[in-house]
Structure 1
Amino acid sequence: MTTSLPVSVLVRPIRPEDNAAIAHVIRHVSAEFGLTADKGYTVADPNLDHLYESYSQPRCAYWVVEVDGQVAGGGGVAPLSGGEEDLCELQKMYFLPSLRGQGLAKRLALQAIEHARQNGFARCYLETTASLTQAIALYERLGFQHIEGSLGNTGHVDCEVTMLKYL
């Protein structure tokens, strides 16, 4: 008879040493859903390998999810590039399959929304792709509404689903 060991899950702010691990998670999940250059998706993100530095800016936050000491997911919030002062963007919400279905994405999104409120944002925007149906369903349950067209200057040319939530 085998028994499984208890899994330790920790949600914490990103640290410099997490850069490579969270970039790996994002690339892995993107490939899992076919969001790769060979499928016609634009995948160049100059900040992907430097998320700690990107989210160390004012009004920004990024959290990683550790499972037994290994980074297995993450998500964050930052002012929307090219957007109005009261508008933030929910960004880079990626979770390895082992984390899905446990409420961690919801927990992290709510944490990001609360951070946004505390930092003076009145609206939260996000962009995603239609193939990420579970993510879209979560965002809808959290009160995000579908909107026509994109806001700001995210550079996410492949993200055809745009959503907004009033905080």
Structure 2
Amino acid sequence: MDTPIIRLIEEKDNAQIAKVIRTVLEDFNVPKVGTAYADKSLDTMFETYQKPNSVYFVVEENGRIIGGAGVAKLDNYEGNVCELQKMYFLPEARGKGIGAQMMEFCIGKAREFNFEKIYLETMEYMTHAQKLYKQAGFEYIDCALGDTGHYSCPVHMIRDL
């Protein structure tokens, strides 16, 4: 068995990463409206992250995508803030330190792109994810920033870069 590798998304990964994200969201019974599940970009993740100051990484193990995460400017927000986007891992990717490693990659890129802060939205019952975010220096804030369209995600967090 190969060690999982984190690498930049490629066009050939689109179908696999879309399936990973939808599978994880279904496993957690996340609403299909007002969350990443409804994002048009799910089926074109490679193309979505070709714009300046954005990046998406996938985790590949034995030729199969088992997770991913990215960074892009926060939609509909005036400040120099980016968003940690679409960070999801299949069960076989969890508990191996891949999330922490992915977080380092994303925060590193956010700094490289000269953003001042990194923001995220999640579900209240995604407690393992929140634990990871807190360990990476994120803090809870009371309201959403910008307008991502993810109005069903009630938990908002941010950290300085």
The yes-or-no answer on 1:61 pairing with 2:55 is: yes
**Deviation of 1:156 (Å):** 0.4
Identity of counterpart residues, as a percentage?
Answer: 43
Task: Map residues 100-119 of structure 1 onto 2, 5 A cutoff.
Answer: 100-119=94-113
* Whole-angstrom CA distance in 2 between matches of 1:14 and 1:142: 23
Higher RCO structure (Cα 8 Å, ≥6 apart): 2
| Structure 2 partner of 1:12 | 7
The yes-or-no answer on 1:148 pairing with 2:142 is: yes
| Structure 2 partner of 1:71 | 65
**Deviation of 1:85 (Å):** 4.3
User: Which stretch of structure 1 is more off in the superposition, 81-90 or 118-127?
Assistant: 81-90
3-state SS, counterpart of residue 7 of structure 1? coil
* Whole-angstrom CA distance in 2 between matches of 1:70 and 1:151: 34
Contact 1:85-1:121 at 8 Å conserved across structures: no
* Whole-angstrom CA distance in 2 between matches of 1:65 and 1:18: 10
Contact 2:34-2:153 at 8 Å conserved across structures: no
| Structure 1 partner of 2:129 | 135
Amino acid at match of 1:27: R
Q: Deviations over 1:111-157 (max 9, x none)?
A: 11110111110100000001100000110111101001000110001
Unpaired runs of at least 5, structure 2: none
Q: Deviations over 1:46-85 (max 9, x none)?
A: 1110010111110000000001010110000000001234
| Structure 1 partner of 2:89 | 95
TM-score, normalised via structure 1 length:
0.92
Structure with greater Cα Rg: 1
3-state SS, counterpart of residue 40 of structure 2? coil
Say how many residue pairs are matched. Answer: 160
TM-score, normalised via structure 2 length:
0.95
RMSD between superposed Cα atoms in Å: 1.3
Runs (4+) off by over 4 Å: none
* Whole-angstrom CA distance in 1 between matches of 2:105 and 2:157: 18
